Structure 1
Amino acid sequence: MIVDRQGRRFRNLRVSLTAACNYACSYCVPNGKRLVAAQDELPADTLARGVAYLIEAAGIERLRITGGEPLISPRLDAFLAAVAQLALQDITLTTNGQLLSRKLPQLQAAGIRRLNVSLDTLDPLAFRRIARGGDLATVLAGMQQARALGMQIKVNMVPMRGQNLDQVLPLLDYCLEQGFELRFIELMRMGHLARDHNAFVQQFVGLDSLLELIGQAHAYQQVDAPLDATALRYQIPGRGHFGVIANESVPFCRTCSRLRLSSTGWLHGCLSSNNRHYVGDLLAKPRHEALPALQRLLVKALADKQELAFSGGVTVMKVIGG
């Protein structure tokens, strides 16, 4: 097991199946152009082998499948079938929900029981303005169908001044009524927002402002969350829960257990670091050759983590998964 001086280790792996996305969200890409798949994206069996090697080399326990948008990847079905056979405590998937209805049979067959759906507004016009693609009604229908199959759903919202701050309470009420858990994610200084400080500051909504807004309509209380959780968790008595991923206001770097594997075979130990470590060549090697080399790279990836707080990074989030 690889552990740093703060006692951190990698427990959670996020695998990006593809950099491609059928949205072009304003906080992710600045020019409205949808990201496309990289030419050198690894085959599904190679990515799945990477997960298997990382379980053994790093002690990975939980897997989240991300993108881009994983549901548009031609690798999805084969990857799901492969990782379903691995010794993982939990497999979840993050999606924008646009293709959820179509892909639910495959997800259910692979044993996926928990989903994270990115949704920033219940206003159809604002939805099109922020996502720059897709259809709100299709997403909501997919979520309802997933819930009917017994899947647990968390909804991820990025509140932004001038774009969707008026949707905080409507979306929270909707999620409480539907039995979904809403998680507010503070805007991150990633990609173009890491370079454009003014744009970031103008749109950023911090934890205190968010809780003040929620407190105008709901009484809430903070409840316990796992030590390495990214979200602060709150309960609205008799209604349900919501969370806030306050990466700027209340950094969680000291307890971060996340590792990311890109669709092109790069390991990212920290979103705030520009360092990355190529493992694509190792994944073609037999286990006895790959594991020692992989462990050496994992030591470097763990050292990339910030000591105290998230400081931003120029990498586009969609390339390496949320």
Structure 2
Amino acid sequence: MCKLTDHIGRSFKVLRVSLLDKCNFACTYCVYEDGLTAAIQKPVVLSSDELVDLIGRLHDVLHLQTIRLTGGEPLLYPDLPKLVTGIRQLGIHDIKMTTNGFLLAKKVSSLQEAGLRSVNVSLDALSESSFYRVTKRAGLKQVIEGIIAAQKMGLEVKINTVVMAGENDQEILPLLDFAFRHGIKIRFLELMGMGHLFGDTDSKFFSRQALLERISSVYTIDEQAKKYGDTATYWNTACGYSFGIIANDSHPFCADCNRLRLDAQGNIYGCLSSNTPIPLREVSSQKGLEAGLYAALGQKQMQFSGSEMSMLTIGG
């Protein structure tokens, strides 16, 4: 058994698993404006049994603590409760999911029963017009219903909001108020240069500083110390609530990254900025698996630089 660490001593206990590279939304920060048709037609590659087997072999080497299920849209994945149950039976109990929330209200009960503990729901607007402009889908009501349903089922719920200048930045304060009213953590994300936005985020980029200026115009805020391995820095408000900002561009947090990524084809990536897949699906030996993991660790960077790979493929 090897102790797997990278060149600066980081170990990796979190595995983000992209279950499929299709989605029922076509968010502008994820796919091209006309990308909805392509986004919903790609096939599922790995079955739940295949994924559980591969995750189990990775767990034997990495001693994983957390699995985060992503996509595309993970709620489109067949046999999702079976997959969650299989992961839990590996001895990994911190199972989380990032979703657009459109199908969440219908599926959250079976997922909670299977062992899902936490959901991050992408919600980029509270007005129908802004929601449609970002997602190209009229589904705001269903997403909000999903958030409330997950909360009622006892899951930890967080809201993720990608902020884009001139597109949904007017939604920052309404979303903050919504989260505070419902007792839900919200994190605002800087736009990332991935896929079709690689090298082309300037016109829509809304920085951490701009976010703080907007929020502090209404709330008195106080920054918390960032926890090791967290992607977000949090601020407390004088009214007793808190919010986070994931500032991948203006305030990189790569130095304490503890995550690896597995895509729907069974390829592993050490870094979101790498678009070089390392295939593990057909690797059967422990030695071969460890070699693939070491190659993935070699991709690790100290600062996010973006990639031509779409978020639809790797799940953020």
TM-score category of the 2 structures, normalised to the smaller one = over 0.9
Alignment partner, residue 300 of structure 1: 295
Structure 2 Cα separation of the partners of residues 38 and 144 of structure 1: 30
Contact preservation (8 Å) 2:128, 2:138: no
Aligned to 1:3: 5
- Cα deviation, residue 41, structure 1: 0.8
What SS does the corresponding residue of 1:60 show, helix, strand or coil? coil
CA distance in 1, matches of 2:61, 2:237: 41
Give the CA deviation at 1:207.
Answer: 0.9
Partner AA of 2:8 in structure 1: Q
Residue 175 (structure 1) aligned to one of 153, 158, 179: 179
Out of 77, 81, 91, the residue aligned to residue 95 of structure 2 is: 91
Q: Which residue is equivalent to 1:26?
A: 28
TM-score in terms of structure 1 length: 0.93
Residue 282 of structure 2 corresponds to which residue in structure 1?
281
Q: Is the Cα–Cα contact under 8 Å of residues 58 and 298 in structure 1 kept in the other structure?
A: no
Note if contact 1:17-1:75 (Cα within 8 Å) is conserved in structure 2. Answer: no
- Corresponding residue of 2:240: 239
CA displacement 1:166-188 (0-9 Å, x = unmatched): 00011011101101101011100
Q: In structure 2, how many angstroms separate the alpha carbons of the residues matched to 1:253 and 1:294?
A: 24
Query: What residue is the counterpart of 1:59 in the other structure?
Result: 63
Secondary structure of the equivalent of 1:210? helix
Structure 2 partner of 1:205: 206
Q: Does 1:101 align with 2:96?
A: no
Structure 2, unmatched stretches of 5+, are: none
Match of 2:307 among 293, 296, 313: 313
**1:218–1:157 Cα change, 3 Å:** same
Matching residue's letter, 1:71 = L
What is the one-letter code of the residue matched to 1:180? Answer: I
1:252 alignment partner in structure 2: 253
Equivalent pair of 1:19/1:263 in contact (CA under 8 Å): yes
1:137-168 deviations in whole A, cap 9, x for unaligned?
A: 11111111111121221000011011001000
CA distance in 2, matches of 1:219, 1:135: 33
Q: Deviations over 1:59-111 (max 9, x none)?
A: 32110011100001114132122112122251111110100111012111112
**Normalising by structure 2, what TM-score?**
0.95
1:40 Cα offset (Å)? 6.4
Partners in 2 of 1:39 and 1:16 — Cα distance? 13
- How many residues get paired? 312
Q: Which runs of 4+ in 1 moved over 6 A?
A: none
Which residue of the partner structure matches residue 268 of structure 2? 267
For residues 63-78 of structure 1, the aligned pairs below 5 Å read 63-78=67-82
Which amino acid in 2 is paired with 1:5? H
